[in-house]
Structures are given as structure tokens and as C-alpha cells.
């Protein structure tokens, strides 16, 4: 069973890498004037991405069968689930808005996280007492959805900064030419954060309820709790300045980038640098 889990994990990584190459290739083809091939490559890239998601899901299922509990109990399992959430959110966005160009950066991000997953400790251990709760499922699922939305918004934000930085060029070619208008990129970023924020709010609320049950305290200022709150305030600041102060453009997108940096620090940096009650996750 352990070997099967590893094989599906590696297979998912390979498929995601192929999808990354295909998404990059779709931007090269239009530069030589072949639009039909570009559309075909784009569809093929989406098929590989969906196949990677199936393999990713299979790995999670195998882990569940092998361990006897949902694969949500440690950093390896959550990161694997995190990748699943990013890919799912990306495919939803690509399907709904026809924005395959986002895959040029989204899939390399996914593949990079999968490489990290492969080299993590996969040892099966009994769930800690604090994790033996139904609140675990609500808490982690809402985190995966919110983090997935924020990851895709981050990618689109980076594309915005690339496009914005190229405005001074006399002529935009290849990748730069294929990117849509800045207003479209900014609007997509905003829509994704509108999805992620309610779920991040639920992450904090369910975490507080769970903490009261497990540790008899709704809030302990544990490093992960604190950084989750910091992350919430960054995205809340983005929404506030956009809606109330009419912030647009680069300064607004920078908040999006900072928000995702806070997401990654909350997930990985806290565990590695600031151990606390959530050190197991």
C-alpha cells in the first residue's frame, strides 16, 4: 500500500510537470501564427491537469485506506490536500473564465509543491488526541478551499505585475501579448479573494470552536492562530481598500502577493520556525 501511494504521488507529479510544459507551449505557438494548435494544446494541458488531480485524489484515498483516518493529520497530508485544492480551484477558474494562460504559472507552482510533498516524511502515526474530532474535517476543508483560492489569486496577481511592468515596452510579444487587459486580471484576482475570504473566516471560527473543545480555550495566541489572523487582516485590508478607498492597480495587487506570502508562512514557516500547539500540522 505504501508503494502504491508513492507511485501515484510520483505519477501525479509527472502529469503536473507535463501540464506545465503544455501551458507554456500554448503561448509559443501563437507567436508563429498557429491559433488552432494553440487551442488544442490548451485543451490538452487542461486534460493533463485534470488527470493529475485524479491521481492526486487517488493518493489521498490510498492514504486514507492505509491509515484508517482522513489524511489531514500532519504537514505531508495537508500539503498534499493543499495541492489538490489549488488544482481544483484552478480548473474551476479556467473552465468558467477560459483563462488557460494562468496555468503558465499555476502548474509550476503545483509541481513545485508536489516535489516538496515527495521529499516530506510520510511515516504513518496514530492521530494525536486533539485531532480526533469531527471539527478537523470542517477546519481543514475550509482551509484547503481558502488557500486554493488565494494561491490562484496570487498567480493571477503575478501575471498582473508582469503585464503592468511591460507597458513601457514598444511592442509586447509572445507571452506578454497573450495576457489579457490589466482590468481583467485584477477583476479575476478580486473574485477569487471574494471566494477565499469567507472560507478563511470559517477556518478561524472552526479552529476557535475546536480549540475550546480540545484545550478549553477559544484562543491561545498560538503562532499558527496568530498568523492565521494576520493573513485574514491582510486580505480584509485588500477588500477594504478596494471597496472603500477605491484602490486599484499595483498597490492593490501587492496586498494580494503579501497575503499569499502570509498563507505560506502560516502553513510552513510557523511549523518550522515557531513551534506551538499546532506543531503537528
Tell me: do 141 and 277 sit in the same domain.
yes
The answer on 167 and 77 residing in a single domain is no
One domain, residues 9 and 145: no
Query: 110 and 150 share a domain?
Result: no
Q: Do 159 and 280 fall within a single domain?
A: yes
Report field, pTM of the whole predicted structure over 0.85: yes
Q: Are 278 and 211 in contact (CB under 8 A)?
A: no
The contacts of residue 42 (CB under 8 Å, 6+ apart) are: 22, 23, 26, 100
pLDDT value at position 53?
97
Residue at a domain's end among 127, 149, 166: 127
> Of the candidates 127, 149, 165, which is a domain's last residue?
127
Q: In which domain, by residue range, is 156 found? A: 133-281
Contact predicate 199/149, CB 8 Å: yes
Instruction: Kindly report, residue by residue over 193-243, the tens digit of the pLDDT.
Output: 999 999 999 999 988 887 778 666 777 777 888 889 999 999 999 999 998
Q: What is the mean pLDDT of the chain?
A: 85
User: Are 151 and 86 in contact, with CB atoms under 8 Å apart?
Assistant: yes
CA angle (180 as vertex; 173, 89 as ends), nearest 5: 120
Based on the domain organization, do 117 and 168 belong to the same domain?
no
Q: Structurally, how many domains does the chain consist of? A: 2
Verify that 95 and 147 share a domain, yes or no: no
pLDDT tens digits, 102-111: 999 999 999 9
Among 46-50, 125-129, 136-140, the range of highest mean pLDDT: 46-50
Same domain, 15 and 109: yes
Which three cell numbers mark 41? 494544446
CB 207 within 8 A of CB 228: yes
pLDDT, tens digit, 9 for 90 and up, residues 162-198: 888 777 555 555 556 567 788 899 999 999 999 999 9
Among candidate residues 105, 127, 149, the one where a domain is terminated: 127
- Same domain, residue pair 93 and 138: no
Same domain, 21 and 51: yes
Same domain, 239 and 119: no
* One domain, residues 158 and 115: no
- DSSP 8-state class, residue 46: H
Amino acid at each position: 500500500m505504501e508503494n502504491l501511494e508513492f507511485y501515484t504521488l510520483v505519477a501525479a507529479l509527472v502529469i503536473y510537470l507535463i501540464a506545465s510544459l503544455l501551458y507554456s507551449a500554448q503561448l509559443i505557438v501563437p507567436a508563429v501564427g498557429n491559433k488552432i494548435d494553440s487551442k488544442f494544446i490548451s485543451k490538452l494541458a487542461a486534460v493533463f491537469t485534470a488527470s493529475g488531480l485524479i491521481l492526486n485524489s487517488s493518493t489521498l484515498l490510498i492514504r486514507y485506506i492505509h491509515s484508517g483516518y482522513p489524511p489531514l493529520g500532519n504537514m505531508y497530508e495537508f500539503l498534499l490536500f493543499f495541492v489538490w485544492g489549488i488544482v481544483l480551484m484552478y480548473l474551476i477558474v479556467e473552465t468558467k473564465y477560459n483563462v488557460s494562460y494562468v496555468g503558465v504559472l499555476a502548474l509550476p507552482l503545483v509541481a513545485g509543491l508536489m516535489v516538496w510533498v515527495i521529499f516530506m516524511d510520510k511515516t504513518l502515526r496514530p492521530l494525536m488526541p486533539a485531532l480526533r474530532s469531527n471539527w478537523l474535517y470542517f477546519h481543514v476543508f475550509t482551509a484547503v478551499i481558502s488557500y486554493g483560492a488565494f494561491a490562484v489569486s496570487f498567480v493571477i496577481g503575478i501575471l498582473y505585475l508582469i503585464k503592468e511592468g511591460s507597458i513601457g515596452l514598444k511592442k509586447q510579444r509572445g507571452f506578454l501579448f497573450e495576457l489579457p487587459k490589466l482590468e481583467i486580471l485584477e477583476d479575476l484576482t478580486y473574485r477569487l479573494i471574494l471566494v477565499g475570504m469567507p472560507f478563511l473566516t470559517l477556518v478561524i471560527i472552526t479552529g476557535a470552536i475546536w480549540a475550546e473543545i480540545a484545550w478549553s480555550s477559544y484562543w491561545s495566541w498560538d503562532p499558527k492562530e496568530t498568523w492565521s489572523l494576520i493573513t485574514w487582516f491582510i486580505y480584509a485590508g485588500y477588500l477594504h481598500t478596494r471597496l472603500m478607498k477605491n484602490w486599484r492597480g499595483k498597490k492593490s495587487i501587492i496586498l494580494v502577493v503579501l497575503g499569499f506570502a502570509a498563507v505560506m508562512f502560516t502553513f510552513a514557516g510557523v511549523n518550522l520556525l515557531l513551534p506551538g500547539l499546532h506543531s503537528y500540522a
